Structure 1
Amino acid sequence: MSVEPKKWGVIYNPKAGTRKVKKRWKEIKEYMDSKGVDYDYVQSEGFGSVERLAKILANNGYRTIVVVGGDGALNDAINGIMLSDAEDKNDIALGFIPNGIGNDFARYWGLSTEYKPAVDCIINHRLKKIDVGYCNFYDGKEHQRRYFLNAVNIGLGARIVKITDQTKRFWGVKFLSYVAALFSLIFERKLYRMHLRINDEHIRGRIMTVCVGSAWGWGQTPSAVPYNGWLDVSVIYRPEFLQIISGLWMLIQGRILNHKVVKSYRTKKVKVLRAQNASVDLDGRLLPKHFPLEVGILPEKTTLIIPN
């Protein structure tokens, strides 16, 4: 299939828990049309379809792939591109228009949920090579590799994602499910027996959550940079109740690394040898929990369209 080099392949992932799906896309489409954008459009249908569609677009010659969605949709898209058969997949320009509850990666680059600045950014087409994180694991049948742009969470962070996904049908709105899960689990303060290896140091103990970030990781790795070839790691041990309150405030302010129950590292690779009963997520996508896991970084492995 021959595609014009400047034509966008747009994947629209409807915002979870909203009834304004058609209205939102109509507004974005009308704005792109007013700007004279040349594009083909597909809408995702159910879990896993964004990854499949991104892979199809990459294999069929699209050099600019635009995702309208949140962190999870971006994760699906980078996996689709990385697992495609495109010879120049590292040079495929990935653009994004924030459209989800979780837009942490978009906020890192200074993009709000307003679609017009995001469309203008993609039109401007300023490119930057960024790192792609990976996670190797065994699914019980064969060895697998999944990719991420923002962060891997093990323990509390991933359990919040899991409960949010399970309860959003009850609440009807994913944001309410997320808030309910966050508060219930923080008060619970469950710990997990973990064994990690970071920079040849073995870390064993009862740990509440671990975040391995190439970017902000929802504030847990605030010093991480997605183009320096390194991973930042935050290991959070059990806080007292008052320390939870101060920790949430420091998280909002971007100072979580200063908290006394947080230990931070910078590394190229993390091995999770054990994390008993802990959930794992990559950019909000839950991973089958088969330990050990190996988390690493591939420097400048994909091309991102970024704001000026």
Structure 2
Amino acid sequence: MADTDNKWGILYCPKHGVASSKKRWAKIENCLKENDIDYDFVQSENQDSVTRLINMFINNGYKTIVIVGGDSALNDAVNCLMSADPKVRELVSIGLIPNGLMNDFAHYWNLKENDISQTIKWLKQHRVRKIDLGCIHYLNAKGEACHRYFLNCVNIGLISAIMNLRQQTHRLFGSRSLSFLFSLILMIFQRLDYKMSLKINSDIIKRKIMTVCIGNASGYGQTPNAVPYNGLLDVSVVYHPEMTQLFEGFYLLFTGKFLNHHSVHPYRTKEVVVNEAVKAMVSIDGRLMKTPVGSYSITVEQEVINFLIPA
């Protein structure tokens, strides 16, 4: 077996439907050569191939695995790593070069899509920080106990529906701005509140709720004070505002003042129990999941992943 202790394993996840993906990789490749990085490179075709290729890197002893992708690809990578033996996981560090439709976890660390050179210089310094992962525990349609880890957030309700619309419209229009605009227009036809029953710390919440965000990090602006290294989850519960207040809420979301809206109720906790969330979509790190059957819970596991952070 070739020596992989000092060699990066790089997984390139091209954006679907983007014609410039080859130019993007060529630019990354030039930056890697300029920084004398020794690496092996593979390219994903879909979500299943991400899992297969990350497992290949882990099983072949790579100690530094760099994801060139967005939140969903990074989510797949950490879930693969969490399924490995803890002794193996302890030796592996995960790095990120943002290249997705949504790069919220990258933005948390000030990693920018258009500054590849700086990102690679930071990764080369190999500054490791142990970070937390959130975890959703649920039953699937077969009644089997399942779980899924997340770096950024779990969304329940309207925001998950909007993210689903945005991904669908992005495939049609290609443009982020157009896809988001049409998602907002289509939002008019979406259900705006859901009957929920939640347990957060000692509080029992039973009422109609528009959306819930459980954040291990910034949660696409909905949990702006969350940090992935304090062993806690930030939770934003949003009650159903009037339509004018709804658009005010989106304005505050985009300006980083989401928690100032009077319909937003913030919490900090180690566990959220969702006893009921009738017909509410659930997304994990921006990707829609099949709605869990019955009640489910979201917890946090402290300092379980080695993540390469900026200097």
Alpha-carbon offset, residue 101 of structure 1: 2.1
* Corresponding residue number in structure 2 for 1:13: 13
* Corresponding residue number in structure 1 for 2:147: 145
Q: Does 1:304 align with 2:275?
A: no
CA contact (8 A) 2:130 2:303 kept: yes
| SS of equivalent to 2:248 | helix
Q: CA offsets per residue over residues 62-112 of structure 1, 9 Å max, x none?
A: 111100011111111111111234633034111000111211111111111
Alpha-carbon offset, residue 129 of structure 1: 0.6
Gaps of 5+ in 1: none
Task: Output the aligned Cα RMSD.
Answer: 1.7
| SS of equivalent to 2:68 | strand
* Corresponding residue number in structure 1 for 2:298: 295
Task: Give the letter for the 2:307 counterpart.
Answer: L
CA contact (8 A) 1:94 1:303 kept: yes
Task: Give the letter for the 1:53 counterpart.
Answer: L
Looking at structure 2, the residues matched to 186 and 6 of structure 1 have their Cα atoms a distance apart, in angstroms, of: 52
Q: CA offsets per residue over residues 169-211 of structure 1, 9 Å max, x none?
A: 4334465334321343167561111111111321111111000
Looking at structure 1, the residues matched to 45 and 190 of structure 2 have their Cα atoms a distance apart, in angstroms, of: 35
Task: Give the letter for the 1:168 counterpart.
Answer: H
| SS of equivalent to 2:214 | strand
After TM superposition, what 4+ stretches of structure 1 lie above 6 angstroms from structure 2?
A: none
Task: Give the letter for the 1:163 counterpart.
Answer: L
Gaps of 5+ in 2: none
Query: Map of 1:32-111 to 2, 5 A cutoff?
Result: 32-85=32-85, 87-111=87-111
Looking at structure 1, the residues matched to 9 and 188 of structure 2 have their Cα atoms a distance apart, in angstroms, of: 41
* Corresponding residue number in structure 2 for 1:123: 124
CA contact (8 A) 1:11 1:54 kept: yes
* Number of equivalences: 308
| SS of equivalent to 1:36 | coil
Alpha-carbon offset, residue 127 of structure 1: 0.7
| SS of equivalent to 1:9 | strand
CA contact (8 A) 2:169 2:182 kept: no
Query: TM-score of the superposition, structure 1-length normalised?
Result: 0.94
Q: Which range is displaced more, 252-261 or 127-136? A: 252-261
Looking at structure 1, the residues matched to 255 and 141 of structure 2 have their Cα atoms a distance apart, in angstroms, of: 41
Q: 1:275 aligns with which of 262, 277, 283?
A: 277
